[in-house]
Amino acid sequence: MMSRILSIDVFFDFICPWCLIGKRQLQVALLKLQESHPDVEVVLIWRGVQLLPHIPVEGVPFDAFYQQRLGSPDAVRMRQAQVRQAAHAVGVDIDFSKIKLMPNTAKAHQLLAMAIQVGTAIQIDQLLERLFSAYFHLSEDLGDSENLLKIAQSCGFAADDINNASGQLDQPFDSANTGSNGVPYFIFNQRLAVAGAHPAETLYTAMLEALVTQG
């Protein structure tokens, strides 16, 4: 039996908790697809979206940024509680008190773009997970080149590739654009789009619909 191809474009930013939640939901949906349609080959295409391109390279204090953005400490607490509840439902613990810096994510996206060119699918996923964890769990600066290169090394990328990446991190980042759809944003087989962090069942259904319309 010939395998069918399902391409999934995933638009995301590392500082977006809904993108981390959406990634977990996507993983569950992909496991279900693998069980029900083992003949389908999935091609994941990660498309970086820099949500806050005007953040200085050195970043800004996290708490002050969100209080200014949402208007009051109470509004911040309510939003963070909503996010934590959604994250907990997919097995992710986000402790906002540990996040000290709102970083500029251009360099992190450049690093991932390099990784996609030279890495295996496993390495790319490891790097994605590590970069999300750097921000949400480890209080690491995603705008710091030295830290990013150490993260790449920890994911098994070759020294030559890391050296090449070091010269690319400061290049302007060409952010993907979802228009008014925000992130996360998924496009299945370049025709069926799903905006937002939906349950895994919704993503799985979208996958099946994309395969049907593929013919």
> Does residue 34 share a domain with residue 95?
no
Closest CA to 112 of 126, 124, 120, 99: 124
| Mean pLDDT of the region 144-167 | 93
* pLDDT tens digits for range 65-100: 999 999 999 999 999 999 999 999 999 999 999 999
* Same domain for 111 and 170: yes
Least confidently predicted of 34-43, 101-110, 145-154, 166-175: 166-175
Same domain, 165 and 108: yes
pLDDT for 25 equals: 98
Q: Could you tell me if 166 and 184 lie in one domain?
A: no
pLDDT at residue 165 tops 90? no
Regarding whether 30 and 15 lie in a shared domain, the answer is: yes
Burial of residue 64 (number of CB atoms within 10 Å: 0-12, 13-18, 19+): exposed
Mean pLDDT to the nearest integer, 170-188? 95
Residue 149 shares a structural domain with residue 109: yes
pLDDT at 215: 60
Residue 150 lies in a domain: yes
State whether 72 and 127 are in the same domain: no
Q: Is the pLDDT of residue 42 over 60?
A: yes
Would residue 211 count as lying in a domain? yes
pLDDT at position 56 over 60: yes
Where is pLDDT greater, at 191 or 3? 191
Gap between the Cα atoms of 128 and 126, Å rounded: 5
**Residue whose entry in the numeric block shows the structure tokens 């905006």:** 195
Question: What's the predicted TM-score (pTM) here?
Answer: 0.96
User: pLDDT tens across 124-135, in order?
Assistant: 999 999 999 999
pLDDT of 167 over the 90 cut: no
Identify whether 13 is part of a domain.
Answer: yes
Residue 36 in domain:
yes
Residue 213, pLDDT score: 84
* Residue 54: inside a domain: no
pLDDT of residue 186: 98
164 pLDDT tier (thresholds 50, 70, 90): confident
The reply to whether 126 and 163 lie within a common domain is: yes
> What's the domain count of the chain?
3
Do both 128 and 73 map to the same domain? no
Looking up residue 189, the CATH number of its domain turns out to be 3.40.30.10
154 and 95 fall within a common domain: no
Query: Is 143 among the domain residues?
Result: yes
* Mean of per-residue pLDDT scores for the chain: 95
Q: Are residues 111 and 96 in the same domain?
A: no
SS3 of the chain: helix, strand, coil, percent, to 5: 50, 15, 35
Determine, yes or no, domain membership for 17. Answer: yes
Give 10's pLDDT tier (boundaries 50, 70, 90).
very high
Is the CB of residue 52 less than 8 Å from the CB of residue 18? no
In a domain, 55, yes or no: no
CA-to-CA distance for 86 and 17, rounded, in angstroms?
9
Range of the domain at 15: 1-49+176-215
Structural element, H or E, at residue 1: none
Residues 128, 166: one domain? yes
